[in-house]
Amino acid sequence: MDKQRIVTGGLAAHVKREIAAMRRLNHPNIVRMHEVLANQKKIYFVLEFAPGGDLFSKVAKCRFSEDLSRRYFQQLVSAVRYCHSRGVYHRDLKLENLLLDENWNLKVTDFGLSVVTHRSRSPSDTDGLVHTMCGTPAYVAPEILAKKGYDGAKVDIWACGVILYVLSTGYLPFNESNVVLMYLKICKGEYTVPKWMSPELKQFLSRLLDTNPQTRITIDEIIKDPWFRIGYKDEELCSDHFEMKDGEDGGLKSLNAFDIISYSSGYNLSGLFGGREGDEMFLSTVAPEEIIERVVEAAEQERLRVAKKNKWWVKVDGCHSRNFTLMIEVKRLTVDIVVVDVSWKECESNRGPEIWKSRLRPRLSGLIYQPDGLVRSN
């Protein structure tokens, strides 16, 4: 992805949302994001390969049988339920965003419109609703069109209903060349079902495509529905072994590409799109303990006070005035490479950046590892 186009096209927030969403997710029916790489001009996403293409192209050729529709719907619900349990709401579920792997299993992708919430947030903090207009017209829920705020989970369930309808019939439930007429049908819940559709599926669809979000079927109710449960195994939705856990190496925190984005001005997407003050990062192949000792030695040579330290971080401030604080922390990226994260806090003056850049950093230049093409701090 071209960074200049992202910025000029107003897509920076879109890109950051997708990364924030996908870094939380590890599920067999969700496309994995393995790495995020960047140089001065481009951002690269390394995604799981789904060679089967998307479901849209398959349904466009021929509608699915009810059994096959149910199989893919079960996999979709598994992925959606997992996302919701981790505070991620897709908001743009559609056939084009449902891919197939080499074994013809479903893979959800494209979280660019997703909203990420903090599950620990109290309902009293806000009304708990999303207030942005998102989604693809034919799949959009009626409450989004009402522009009164909506529940991301209920919006995803509506889209799942549209997807199930298309899988089973081969066409959209709300399909008009005139978008206004389409929206009117969506708001009224006006759609037809073919005569050959089973009564059980008709009833199930009516609960998914309920225009009232308060009475619309929930994910847990979907799992209990008789039509859904045919051929279904409960363990498919057990999320325990899909959990991602951060590793630690002897107390030294391990980092992956997403952590680099979170911690560094060089890889932080905010930095990529304009920079961030009060923080700097560099890579090093030197052992963490040696890095800390070199920082302590440089600070003492500059007559700065080492306030606190351990094997993985050191805190430095001024000897007398103490009007600034520098924190240098080491985090492991790979077996051979670590990330050195430097941050500063000002109390009275702007001395932190000056002391780091003009006095300490030159003494530590031998620690820095800078492979060609990596984004660097200024």
Q: What is the pLDDT of residue 278?
A: 52
Q: Could you say which of 54, 92, 110, 156 is catalytic?
A: 92
- Those residues with Cβ within 8 angstroms of residue 103's Cβ, 6 or more apart along the chain or in another chain: none
Q: Is 116 exposed, middle or buried (0-12, 13-18, 19+ CB in 10 A)?
A: middle
Q: Which of 76-80, 173-177, 300-304, 371-375 has the lowest mean pLDDT?
A: 371-375
Q: Which of 73-77, 82-86, 88-92, 371-375 has the lowest mean pLDDT?
A: 371-375
Q: What is the pLDDT of residue 347?
A: 52
The pLDDT of 304-314, averaged and rounded, is 85
Superfamily (CATH H level) for 3-242: Transferase(Phosphotransferase) domain 1 (1.10.510.10)
Does the structure show a pLDDT above 60 at 318? yes
Q: Are 14 and 112 in contact (CB under 8 A)?
A: yes
Domain locations in the chain as residue ranges: 3-242, 248-367
**Of 127, 106, 105, 108, nearest in space to 117 by CA:** 127
The model's confidence at residue 220, banded by pLDDT at 50, 70 and 90, is very high
pLDDT, tens digit (0-9, with 9 covering 90-100), for 22-36:
776 788 999 988 777
Please state, for a pLDDT cut of 90, what percent of the chain lies above it.
33
Q: What is the pLDDT of residue 378?
A: 41
Q: What is the pLDDT of residue 355?
A: 76
Does the structure show a pLDDT above 70 at 44? yes
pLDDT, tens digit (0-9, with 9 covering 90-100), for 328-348:
888 877 677 888 888 776 555
Exposure on the CB side of residue 186, measured as CA atoms within 13 A = 27
Whether 210 sits among the annotated catalytic residues: the reply is no
CA 148 remoteness from chain centre: 25
Helix 152-169 / helix 199-208 crossing angle, nearest 10 deg:
150
* 286/340 Cα distance (integer angstroms): 10
- The structure's pTM equals 0.61
Q: Are 30 and 76 in contact (CB under 8 A)?
A: no
pLDDT, tens digit (0-9, with 9 covering 90-100), for 140-182:
999 988 877 788 899 999 999 999 999 999 999 998 888 899 9
DSSP 4-43: HHHHHTT-HHHHHHHHHHHTT---TTB--EEEEEE-SSBE
Does the structure show a pLDDT above 70 at 207? yes
Does the structure show a pLDDT above 50 at 56? yes
**Of 134, 103, 107, 132, nearest in space to 22 by CA:** 107
The model's confidence at residue 271, banded by pLDDT at 50, 70 and 90, is very low
Q: Extract the tokens encoding 210.
A: 């309920």
Record: fold of 248-367: TATA-Binding Protein (3.30.310)
Length in residues, the chain: 378
